[in-house]
Amino acid sequence: MQPTSLLTAPEADADAPPVLSADLVGSMLRHLLDRGPRDAAELAALRQHPTLKALRASLMRSEEFARLYRAALRHSAGYAMPLFMLQPPADPAVPWRFAEPGLADPVTQLCTAAQMQGAEHARWCKLMKVAPRQHRKQWEFAWILAAMDKGGMLRPGLRALGFGTGRERLPCVLAGLGLQVTASDAPPEAVEGQGWSSSQQYSSALEQLHHRDLIDRDRFVQQVAFRQVDMNAIPDDLRGYDVCWSACALEHLGSLAHGLDFIRASLATLRPGGLALHTTEFNLGHNEETLEARSLSLFRKRDIEGLASRLVAEGHEVWPLNFHPGHALADVYVDTPPYSSPHLKLQAAGHVVTSIGIAVRKRGG
């Protein structure tokens, strides 16, 4: 039987002028479905999508793409969870669970597909004014906001400190909710040669943090301050904050030890009972071998457990460790270079990696 055409443009009007070129549509079909247009009607319909991004999303929702995806997985091992992920921490004082993680009750947890298919993820994306998509970087910001909400930190008048914020939207989101925000990024000499400045991930001035669709400029200037901060040497005058956060920054501090030390040091910026929320890169495949370099380190389960044990011994509250990696189809797929698709897991230096969110409440309060 001849497959039916993908007439997927919403309410496509055959008389409407096409938006996308035939070349763009053909290229996207070859990229995602390994074929060209089946007929003129299919090509005309697909050309009606308003943007290339919309076309791509439509094709990826099709049954044809799902069949190809499942077939590819049958010919590839994908991600298979190693047994060490099931083991509880050696220190019985460290809280632990192994269950499908969610954003309604966030803990210290991994990025998974199910979290991004729920109402909570959509809620935080709406607050950030971004379209929901299954990408771990978007999950990191949704997890941070969900954890702030759980911890009672999204209230007007509270003080928030962001590390390595680059040009992310969180400072404006929090300011829009009435928080006083200090956003920080590394001094220029600390990021030299790492590519952040040229990739729009680095900020050197307050104006680069302003997102006009989230907050007007006058209010932004009143509620957001910017500082250059070396995360390996946090200034002593950054104190008394209610909450601090960082999103995939601490893995770039020079080594595993540097990243773990930063998490501990960030607690000094908080008042008693304040909340520290940090996301970073997690090694899903090994608990011994990993990547440790000046520009990038991949944290293992043992690293997170060791940090948690130390923090608990110091009297801090570590939110339960949950290393459940997810079991949906998208949780099995491992993106490889060049990273061309939204992904939850990727391969880096021979290791399967995803994002983890780490939540710690400072002792006292």
48-71 average pLDDT score: 81
List, for residues 100-141, the tens digit of each pLDDT value: 999 999 999 999 999 999 999 999 999 999 999 989 999 999
Give the pLDDT of residue 294: 87
Lowest mean per-residue pLDDT among 17-21, 30-34, 171-175, 192-196: 192-196
- At residue 137, the pLDDT reads 94
- pLDDT by residue (tens digit) across 292-313? 988 899 999 999 999 999 999 9
Q: What is the pLDDT of residue 340?
A: 66
For residue 23, name the pLDDT band (cuts at 50, 70, 90): confident
Model confidence at 199, pLDDT cuts 50, 70, 90, reads very low
pLDDT band at residue 35, thresholds of 50, 70 and 90?
confident
**pLDDT confidence of residue 329:** 85
Domains of the chain by start residue, with CATH:
22-75 (no CATH), 83-362 (3.40.50.150)
- Is residue 194 scored above 70 in pLDDT? no
What pLDDT, on a 0 to 100 scale, did the predictor assign at position 197? 41
More confident residue, 310 or 335: 310
3-class secondary structure per residue, the chain: CCCCCCCCCCCCCCCCCCCCCHHHHHHHHHHHHCCCCCCHHHHHHHCCCCCHHHHHHHHHCCHHHHHHHHHHHHCCCCCCCCHHHHCCCCCCCCCEECCCCCCCCCCEEECCCHHHHCHHHHHHHHHHCCCCCCCHHHHHHHHHHHHHHHCCCCCCCCEEEEECCCCCCHHHHHHHCCCEEEEEECCHHHHCCCCCHHHCCCCCCHHHHCCCCCCCHHHHHHHEEEEECCCCCCCCCCCCEEEEEEECCHHHCCCHHHHHHHHHHHHHHEEEEEEEEEEEEEECCCCCCCCECCCCECECHHHHHHHHHHHHHCCCEECCEECCCCCCHHHHCCECCCCCCCCCCEEECCEEEEEEEEEEECCCC
> pLDDT by residue (tens digit) across 226-268?
999 999 999 999 999 999 999 999 999 999 999 999 999 999 9
- Kindly report which listed range (63-67, 86-90, 154-158, 330-334) carries the lowest average pLDDT score: 63-67
